[in-house]
Structure 1
Amino acid sequence: MQSAAFAVSPSTPLLRSRSSIPKPNPRCRIISTFPAARQAVSLIRDGPGPIRSLSPRLGGWNAVSVSSLPSRPDLAVKATSVPESAGESSAKSNELVQTLQLGSLFGLWYLFNIYFNIYNKQVLKVFPNPLTITTCQFLVGTVLILFMWITNIYKSPKITSSQLVAILPLAMVHTLGNLFTNMSLGKVAVSFTHTIKAMEPFFSVLLSAMFLGEQPSIWVLFSLAPIVGGVALASMTEASFNWAGFWSAMASNLTFQSRNVLSKKVMVKKDESLDNINLFSIITIMSLFLLTPFTLFIEGVKFTPSYLQSAGLNINQIYLRSLIAGLCFHAYQQVSYMILSRVSPVTHSVGNCVKRVVVIVTSVLFFRTPVSPINSIGTGIALAGVFLYSRVKKIKPKTA
């Protein structure tokens, strides 16, 4: 028998000498040691037909059916498809999370507002110094803002001198708006102050038409009628009515809506603009510096322990309630801007209307404010008008 290396294959039964046998491709040796790789190469080569494998032959490879190979479940190649419902369930889950977050923000907005009005009213009843109380609220807000900026809880803005000049009018009307609100809360019931403040849409339409050239639609004008009529009816039958409290609340409406109109003309260039939260933060700090000199000149330093003790007041109680009111004052406005960044202005306006209803009902129950049937009807009509206004506001007015 001749000493020669040979190999037998069903397709090539002849004998060949070593010199006549072509050398196999090195890549084929690598593939031959990995049955899974053989299957993958065959699948790519032969397309979607029956999966084939490669078997060695002289000088090359023969393709044979996979069915002829030993069964290897661990090497089986399976194609799995992603269910179409997987993407839908993920989207629904994200939507649910966002809805829960938004609902939590609305709940915090209402809760902080309720606590602010209750504790603020309790302090103003025994310490009728609205300038001092408002200054303390701006001080608490300023401390919170600086803490957030220093600790990078919220990124501090880069402010230029031109921006500060543009923001100054906003800070002035913001200061007056909060001062007039506290003056009204100190004179009349919380529920009546918020009933009068339901006339904010009236001043918004008036000032927008005067300074922005916005012509309101007929539906907006129609919604103002129940607001004005409801406030007038509630004022005629209000047990705690006095003109100082009434005009202070009206002045608060005027100044706050002036702030909203002015804010539309500030920060026109987008590259220099501030987000709502940082803009509110800058306004709060500027309001503190604007109001402090007037407070010291008009009311003096009356929030010291010695003065409160001489007035027969509970020092710890006054300080604690003032601190809670200041924290809630800043918190509810911050949350309000957070909500505004997530929803449309119309939705935010509807939420603000509901918030006013919640505050009025809560204050009436907490302070046991006497409310006549006609007063309740007037308040209800005014709030219904505010709700109607917020719904028809989505009809864009014509620009003059």
Structure 2
Amino acid sequence: MAVSDDENLQLIDKKKVVSSVDGKMSKAGRTTDSGLKNVRALLFLFLWYFFSGCTLFMNKYILSYRDGDATLLGSMQMVLTLVCGYIQMWHPCGMGPKASMSLSSKPAGFAKHMVIIGGMRFTTVLLGLVALNFVAVSFTETVKSSAPAFTVVISRIILGSKTGLYVKLSLIPVMGGLALCSANELSYNLPGFTAALLTNISECCQNVYSKMLLSDETYNYTAAELQFYTSLASLVVTIPTCGLLMDWDKVMATTDSTMFMCLVLNGIFFHYQTISAYVLMDYISPVTHSVANTGKRAFLIWTSVILFGNEVTFLSGLGTIIVIFGVLLYNKALNVDGEKKRALGVKLEVAKV
């Protein structure tokens, strides 16, 4: 059947529109959820999970088996992220391009951004330590299970990104499943709950703000750059805090060559945990990152069961299944909402044509 020239032109225009819409989605790929289809994104997701498990093991070993000081542990993590971040700016090791060391090449407001993220990093670490002094780890993890919901709100405020209805609904089993996983030995008091909640909000703000910088089209922020400069900013506040909170008698009594090597190894693990999270953030949205973080926490709970022989309960098993189901549901919801946005975009562009 013959097709008229006018119809051919309309078909060509529509193809251009679809290509344009897809191009916008692709260009914004750093701020959408299509990144997890990328092999490198999956690699850094694995590295993030792996080094998080290593950090968890070393934290438990240093604090419980070596009777280490929590403030010293947190401070050494900041020092090692500073040192390793500086090295990786020269030698990225496949985690992004080599960063420029010249401060004159940095964009306006660079120092302000680094101080803001550095302050949030320090706040997250400090409040996490305060929470652990008042409540059990399981209670802190239960509070943190609300992270995806906070991220949706904070992403809307800072990035202006909108989350579809199906994606919002899919967050319910993800958050509820983690809450069940960590529902054992719950201990509640107001200072502990407040510190855990503020830790959660601070971490979500840090992730969304970091995503905003990584998605900046005027300057190519690298993961190593964020790691080094934010660690430098947070260290400025960490040093006086160490003097106030650290138990120096305990530190002097427990720190030997073995403890020092454990602290250094823990700091290196923590560096790769955080920098792999930064690299991953360049591929996915803050909400997807938060969902992946929720899955990571469920993974770490089961890792602690295997490594430390913690008791496995019915609620832990049920919660894990719900988290896995919720993540699968979330991925499906992303596809559904993504198709709706794409179809709407095509209709709007066609209408303009």
1:140 aligned partner: 80
**SS at 2:109's partner residue?**
helix
Matches within 5 A, 1:312-351: 313=254, 315-341=256-282, 343-345=283-285
- Post-superposition offset of 1:203: 0.7
1:362 aligned partner: 303
**SS at 1:270's partner residue?**
coil
2:152 aligned partner: 205
Matches within 5 A, 1:161-240: 162-184=109-131, 193-234=140-181, 237-239=183-185
Could you report, residue by residue, the CA deviation over 1:100-153 in whole angstroms, capped at 9, with x for unpaired residues?
x77654443332111101111232336575433222111111122233446787
Matches within 5 A, 1:263-274: 263=210, 266=213, 270-274=217-221
Identity of aligned residues (%): 25
Matched, 1:258 2:205: yes
Residues 1:378 and 1:142: Cα distance change in structure 2 (over 3 Å): same
Could you report, residue by residue, the CA deviation over 1:202-225 in whole angstroms, capped at 9, with x for unpaired residues?
110122334444443221221233
Give me the CA root mean square deviation: 3.7
Asked if 2 retains the 8 angstrom alpha-carbon contact of 1:196 and 1:249, the reply is: yes
Matched, 1:110 2:49: yes
The equivalent position to 2:187 in structure 1, one of 241, 246, 258, is: 241
The worse-fitting range, judged by mean Cα deviation, of 282-291 and 224-233 is 224-233
* RCO comparison, higher one (Cα < 8 Å, 6+): 2
Residues 1:187 and 1:361: Cα distance change in structure 2 (over 3 Å): farther
Asked if 2 retains the 8 angstrom alpha-carbon contact of 1:201 and 1:389, the reply is: no
The equivalent position to 2:61 in structure 1, one of 122, 125, 129, is: 122
Unaligned runs of 5+ in 2: 1-37, 342-353
Instruction: Give the Cα–Cα distance (whole angstroms) in 1 for the partners of residues 269 and 315 of structure 2.
Output: 32
Counterpart AA for 1:253: N
Instruction: Give the Cα–Cα distance (whole angstroms) in 2 for the partners of residues 122 and 366 of structure 1.
Output: 11
Could you report, residue by residue, the CA deviation over 1:286-322 in whole angstroms, capped at 9, with x for unpaired residues?
11112222222x21472xxx64354xx3634432322
Residues 1:106 and 1:268: Cα distance change in structure 2 (over 3 Å): closer
Asked if 1 retains the 8 angstrom alpha-carbon contact of 2:81 and 2:231, the reply is: yes
Instruction: Give the Cα–Cα distance (whole angstroms) in 2 for the partners of residues 211 and 149 of structure 1.
Output: 27
- Post-superposition offset of 1:195: 4.9
Residues 1:387 and 1:181: Cα distance change in structure 2 (over 3 Å): farther
Q: Which has the larger radius of gyration?
A: 1
Could you report, residue by residue, the CA deviation over 1:83-115 in whole angstroms, capped at 9, with x for unpaired residues?
xxxxxxxxxxxxxxx95x776544433321111
Instruction: Give the Cα–Cα distance (whole angstroms) in 1 for the partners of residues 75 and 83 of structure 2.
Output: 12
Residues 1:262 and 1:337: Cα distance change in structure 2 (over 3 Å): closer
Residues 1:241 and 1:122: Cα distance change in structure 2 (over 3 Å): farther
Residues 1:350 and 1:240: Cα distance change in structure 2 (over 3 Å): closer
Instruction: Give the Cα–Cα distance (whole angstroms) in 1 for the partners of residues 225 and 250 of structure 2.
Output: 36
Unaligned runs of 5+ in 1: 1-97
Q: What TM-score does the superposition give when structure 1 sets the normalisation length?
A: 0.60
Could you report, residue by residue, the CA deviation over 1:26-47 in whole angstroms, capped at 9, with x for unpaired residues?
xxxxxxxxxxxxxxxxxxxxxx
Instruction: Give the Cα–Cα distance (whole angstroms) in 1 for the partners of residues 308 and 187 of structure 2.
Output: 16
Residues 1:191 and 1:393: Cα distance change in structure 2 (over 3 Å): farther
- Post-superposition offset of 1:328: 0.3
Q: What TM-score does the superposition give when structure 2 sets the normalisation length?
A: 0.67
Matched, 1:299 2:245: yes
Could you report, residue by residue, the CA deviation over 1:54-82 in whole angstroms, capped at 9, with x for unpaired residues?
xxxxxxxxxxxxxxxxxxxxxxxxxxxxx
The worse-fitting range, judged by mean Cα deviation, of 258-267 and 203-212 is 258-267
